[in-house]
Amino acid sequence: MASNKKYWKSVDELDENNPVVKTLKQNEFVEEIPVDEFLGDKESLDSSSTTRRDFLKYVGFSTAAASLAACEGPVKKSIPYVVQPDRIVPGVANYYATSIANGFDFASVLIKTREGRPIKVENNTDVVYGGGANARVHASVLDLYDSLRLQGPKSEGEYISWDALDAGVVSGMTAANAAGKQVVLLTQTFASPSVKRLIAALKEKYANVKHVIYDAVSEDAALEAFRTEFGSRALADYDFSKAEVIVSFGADFLGDWQGGGFDSGYAKGRIPENGKMSRHIQFESNMSLSGANADKRVPLTPSMQRKALAKFYGYLTGTSVSAELPENIDTAVKNAAAQVKMAGSKAVVVTGIDDVNAQRIALKINKNLNSEAFDADRPRYIRQGNADEVSQLVKDMNAGEVGALIMSGVNPAYTLADSAAFNEGLKKVAVSVAFTTKEHETALNATYIAAAPHYLESWGDVEFKKGYYGLTQPTIRPLFNTRQLQDCLLKWVGDNRSYPDYLKETWQENILKGASWNQALHDGVYDNVSSSEEEVMAEDQPAVQVGEGEGEVVSAVAGVSSMLTALAKEQGEGMELVLYTKTGMGDGQQANNPWLQEFPDPITRVSWDNYITVSKADAEAMGLENWNVANGGLNGSYANVTVNGVTLENVPVIIQPGQAKGSVGMALGYGRNAGMKSDMKVGHNAYRLYNNFNSVQKVTVEKAAGEHEFACVQLHNTLMGRGDIIKETTLEIFNSKDSRVWNHVPQVSLNHEEVDAVTVDMWDEFDRSVGHHFNMSIDLNACTGCGACVIACHAENNVPVVGKAEVRKSRDMHWLRIDRYYSSDETFEGDNETKEGMSGLGDSLSTFGEMESAAANPQVAFQPVMCQHCNHAPCETVCPVAATSHGRQGQNHMAYNRCVGTRYCANNCPYKVRRFNWFLYNNNDEFDFHMNDDLGKMVLNPDVTVRSRGVMEKCSLCIQRTQKTILDAKREGRTIKDGEFQTACSAACSSGAIVFGDINDKESKVAKLKEDDRMYHLLEHVGTKPNVFYQVKVRNTQEA
């Protein structure tokens, strides 16, 4: 029955001679299959000698070899010490108190070492002054293990011996002396009594020695102002916890303004206690951390800030100042002045304007107010850079007057605006030596590169502020053949002592005055304030009198009026550029640190980049845009930024809500190239625009072609009126109304009755009253968004760095993120009202659309979010292999070795805190960060597993730390005191926003916080019953 029918595919087949039909019959495919295209490069394929058979042989062999190798476990070697140091017990951490003083960051810290390796920076909580490490300080431990560190002294690209370097430099200095040329020491701010003494010794030994201090990010104006007002070149200190009203004119004091470190004091005053909290008014152009935390933020261009400051002084003192301000700003200034006046000595005024007049006005105001928060008697010494001397030095170098140049802790070839002139000058210096840990831009041009040790390998001391000292001690033996500047200086002046001995002598003679050196070294800090209070006061007297002398009153008043006129005169024409430093990058000396590169900026939430921030209005005017692309990534336009003839081309643009119209911002510290891994060479060098060490520059911005791909971790910026995520209220309502009004508890209907959502439960409650029950409280009032916790978590938990491309795909691995929300109305409250007021589908669609964009000057709120450790965890119920489960102590456990990577848990998590290992991030050349080299791996915490590809991970509430605390108590047979339980983030939080502890200990701080009226859970209505809770944010919006 077989059919003999023949089916024709086309009419052409009827013609047997048709060539097309013939070809088609022989060829299955009409067109040649583009094999080359998917097999890659044809050329290399052709040139390859590997045949198919060879390939199969290789595959067969390697499979067989792999399976054979798998039969036998690897032989592991254990090599104990030959002579074990007394204090090192394998598996037990040692802590050393030391101080970081790298010229930009100054802090007293504790270093955790394991088996002799520093692995983590912790806050030194015992110190009176100088504690509180920021994100960069927390990340500094990774710099120690930078694989690109200099391994020994170099000259002309070759490693040389220290003797050769010594001989070269000494002969250079002698020759300079003989030729009557200068010997210049160009250094960072050391603020070190011993270095001061050492340099004096150098000046004695060699004639014509000059010491020039250079801060990459200059505080010259503030220093100069303080010198004119109080007689010494230093910076006034502020304790914001004592201030009830804080007015800031462009001072980002929660950032790096005047050396930073003010946030813990500030946070103390922000927590409403007895119905009171501080009031913070911020006039600024860039959206800074301080502005984001302010109760009232007024966006103002720098030139307007000057006028505002002048006006403010006028309103405060009753003198009339002729300056024109828009009416609403004038009102704001007037109100601020009124509030300051009312608060009197409880107020403080600060300014970040790089202008001596502005700084002097601010100092005068504080002095006249007799501000309690203001301290000029014990000024800070952590910035001493002298801009004029640096400029003079460059001139001298070019004039050939410098015979020898010794540099330490500075990188002028990168940080100077006119680095070309410096490089030219450097060529005319006979002998130059750069002390550095990296072959940076300056070192490459110097005659000698002296390999300096990392601060964790060095000795040192620092005087943070008058009478408050810190000591730096090595926490590990030098990894490489390095020597610090101080040791070299001792050699060069012919002193055979070692620097530690010299240091000890300096301290015993000048500082300790009989107090124990060992105790000081153990504590890491020493202050002689309590012991010698009167003496110091007496010393200070003449200096203070300079400004307050009777005869000078008149001239002082005249001076003030001229200063005010000078301030008010300033005309802001065109765009103004405000250069700032990012919380994560600082002055850029840690640019090769992958933790910091991946750290998202607290405000823009962009990592791995710098960019210019422009206001929405300006962006629209110039046609600059930001948009999201299909994979979720943020893209932006490019702009050419020109200052004083210098153009930075193709700088990406971020449209920044709150940016003052007429101003753009740009972060310093990026765009470094020398001594950097290729992935870390990101951004543009804004120092090239930093003319005259002034952070404000006249600028022209032009749109450029192309689009930039950002790695931004937060793509949705507004809260959309979801007031239950960040609960916010005003101090007025907080003080006057019941907590249920401002801390609304979600309701659900149970048996047709509205009841609190938290009372309804599908599950049987597990008994958690026995043993420990860990909870974490996060106070949104105290959190400044500084991000120290993010880096601390990174370091503690071996969180991998994934790189820019992966962050862009939202595959960042941070266990702890700090969400930043803008309000779409002027305030978050306005958002809530807008949302409530919607009616109908059409309205809600359009209104929600509008709410996606932030206001021109929005309110900002920060919210640290980590795994909430839900008692009824949605992730646990969906895991098919029970890899995530709940512990009785309240922690949601994650057994990595059990996880098969279905990612159901991440999908079911309402908080989106679970992170998936898309790749193997260690030992992988595709991710060439610290976990890819032996040196970088030394920073890993041996108590925490390094996760492999294909497993889910998330915050564990630092279970390794809680378990350690419990074990220590068990071993010592004692109960655990409140405060002993800490997570990495709570320990790193110097502002006290994150509090961790055991709520079964009814006396604990966290148990009390849980009972606080401000307490709420994130997404309470979901019923997850988290063990992390938040405290309602209260804003002091009351105008005077």
Three-state DSSP at 780 gives coil
The DSSP call for residue 431 is E
Q: Does 983 bind other proteins (CB under 8 A)?
A: no
Nearest of 733, 164, 681 to residue 447 by alpha carbon: 164
Three-state DSSP at 494 gives coil
Judge residue 957's burial from the number of C-beta atoms within 10 Å of its C-beta, 0-12 exposed, 13-18 middle, 19 or more buried.
buried
Q: Supply φ then ψ for residue 960, to 5 degrees.
A: -65, -30
Out of 327, 973, 1002, 1011, the residue judged to bind other proteins by CB under 8 A: 973
**Contact at 8 Å (CB) between 697 and 576?**
yes
Out of 411, 482, 889, 986, the residue judged to bind other proteins by CB under 8 A: 889
Decide whether 5 or 1002 has the Cβ nearer to other proteins: 1002
Q: Does 893 bind other proteins (CB under 8 A)?
A: yes
Q: Does 946 bind other proteins (CB under 8 A)?
A: yes
Out of 21, 969, 1019, 1022, the residue judged to bind other proteins by CB under 8 A: 969
Q: Does 91 bind other proteins (CB under 8 A)?
A: yes
Q: Does 69 bind other proteins (CB under 8 A)?
A: no
Q: Does 900 bind other proteins (CB under 8 A)?
A: no
Out of 9, 76, 87, 752, the residue judged to bind other proteins by CB under 8 A: 76
CB of 1025 to other proteins, least distance (A): 18
Q: Which stretch binds other proteins (CB under 8 A): 557-565, 651-659, 696-704, 964-972?
A: 964-972
Q: Does 970 bind other proteins (CB under 8 A)?
A: yes
Q: Does 944 bind other proteins (CB under 8 A)?
A: yes
CB of 889 to other proteins, least distance (A): 7
Size of the site for other proteins (CB under 8 A): 48
Q: Does 706 bind other proteins (CB under 8 A)?
A: no
**Contact at 8 Å (CB) between 486 and 462?**
no
The interface mask with other proteins, positions 724-743, x = CB under 8 A, is: --------------------
CA 575 – CA 596 distance, rounded (Å): 30
Q: Does 898 bind other proteins (CB under 8 A)?
A: yes
| Residue 449, Ramachandran bin (φ over 0: left; ψ between -120 and 50: alpha; else beta) | beta
Out of 565, 945, 1021, 1040, the residue judged to bind other proteins by CB under 8 A: 945
Longest dimension (CA), the chain: 129
CA 575 – CA 642 distance, rounded (Å): 11
CB of 947 to other proteins, least distance (A): 9
CB of 948 to other proteins, least distance (A): 9
Within 10 Å of residue 145's Cβ, how many Cβ atoms?
A: 23
Out of 40, 73, 706, 849, the residue judged to bind other proteins by CB under 8 A: 73
Q: Does 888 bind other proteins (CB under 8 A)?
A: yes
The interface mask with other proteins, positions 867-886, x = CB under 8 A, is: ----------------x-x-
Q: Which stretch binds other proteins (CB under 8 A): 84-92, 395-403, 600-608, 740-748?
A: 84-92
**Helix axes 485-492 and 499-506, enclosed angle (nearest 10):** 90
CB of 772 to other proteins, least distance (A): 9
Judge residue 91's burial from the number of C-beta atoms within 10 Å of its C-beta, 0-12 exposed, 13-18 middle, 19 or more buried.
exposed
The interface mask with other proteins, positions 598-617, x = CB under 8 A, is: --------------------
Judge residue 876's burial from the number of C-beta atoms within 10 Å of its C-beta, 0-12 exposed, 13-18 middle, 19 or more buried.
middle
Decide whether 349 or 939 has the Cβ nearer to other proteins: 939
**Contact at 8 Å (CB) between 867 and 957?**
yes
CB of 277 to other proteins, least distance (A): 37
Three-state DSSP at 228 gives helix
Q: Does 34 bind other proteins (CB under 8 A)?
A: no
Write the CB contacts of 629 (distance below 8 Å, at least 6 apart in sequence). Answer: 635
Out of 19, 40, 80, 706, the residue judged to bind other proteins by CB under 8 A: 80
Q: Which stretch binds other proteins (CB under 8 A): 81-89, 155-163, 285-293, 780-788?
A: 81-89
Q: Does 274 bind other proteins (CB under 8 A)?
A: no
CB of 918 to other proteins, least distance (A): 19
CB of 84 to other proteins, least distance (A): 4
Nearest of 223, 217, 214, 216 to residue 187 by alpha carbon: 214
Q: Does 767 bind other proteins (CB under 8 A)?
A: yes
| Residue 696, Ramachandran bin (φ over 0: left; ψ between -120 and 50: alpha; else beta) | beta
Judge residue 10's burial from the number of C-beta atoms within 10 Å of its C-beta, 0-12 exposed, 13-18 middle, 19 or more buried.
exposed
CB of 594 to other proteins, least distance (A): 22
Within 10 Å of residue 917's Cβ, how many Cβ atoms?
A: 20
Q: Does 866 bind other proteins (CB under 8 A)?
A: no
Q: Tokens in use for 670?
A: 């990026």
Q: Does 976 bind other proteins (CB under 8 A)?
A: yes
Q: Which stretch binds other proteins (CB under 8 A): 154-162, 241-249, 768-776, 1024-1032?
A: 768-776
Decide whether 578 or 984 has the Cβ nearer to other proteins: 984
CA 93 – CA 83 distance, rounded (Å): 19
The three-point CA angle 427-432-438 to 5° equals: 105
CA 600 – CA 417 distance, rounded (Å): 27
Decide whether 210 or 893 has the Cβ nearer to other proteins: 893
Q: Does 960 bind other proteins (CB under 8 A)?
A: yes
DSSP H helical ranges for 352-386: 356-369
Mind giving me the DSSP string for 251-271? Answer: --TTTTGGG---HHHHHHHHS
Out of 81, 627, 763, 766, the residue judged to bind other proteins by CB under 8 A: 81
Q: Does 894 bind other proteins (CB under 8 A)?
A: yes
Out of 24, 175, 895, 1022, the residue judged to bind other proteins by CB under 8 A: 895
Decide whether 51 or 975 has the Cβ nearer to other proteins: 975
Q: Tokens in use for 743?
A: 């801390």
Out of 15, 48, 90, 275, the residue judged to bind other proteins by CB under 8 A: 90
Chain centroid to Cα 790, Å, comes to 9
Q: Does 956 bind other proteins (CB under 8 A)?
A: yes
Judge residue 2's burial from the number of C-beta atoms within 10 Å of its C-beta, 0-12 exposed, 13-18 middle, 19 or more buried.
exposed
Out of 25, 77, 87, 752, the residue judged to bind other proteins by CB under 8 A: 77
Q: Does 66 bind other proteins (CB under 8 A)?
A: no
Mind giving me the DSSP string for 528-584? Answer: -TTTSHHHHHHHHHHHHHHHH-TTHHHHHHHHHHHHHHHHHH----SEEEEEEEBTT
Decide whether 58 or 766 has the Cβ nearer to other proteins: 766
471-500 residues near other proteins, rule: CB under 8 A: none
Range 494-511 burial, b when 16+ CB lie within 10 A, else e: eeeeebbebbbebbeeeb
770-829 residues near other proteins, rule: CB under 8 A: 770-771
Out of 48, 50, 63, 84, the residue judged to bind other proteins by CB under 8 A: 84
Decide whether 175 or 944 has the Cβ nearer to other proteins: 944
Nearest of 816, 871, 757, 813 to residue 987 by alpha carbon: 816
Decide whether 203 or 898 has the Cβ nearer to other proteins: 898
Decide whether 97 or 976 has the Cβ nearer to other proteins: 976
Q: Does 89 bind other proteins (CB under 8 A)?
A: yes
Q: Does 959 bind other proteins (CB under 8 A)?
A: yes
Binding site for other proteins (CB under 8 A): 73, 75-84, 89-92, 767, 769-771, 883, 885, 887-889, 891, 893-898, 943-946, 956, 959-960, 963, 966-967, 969-971, 973-976
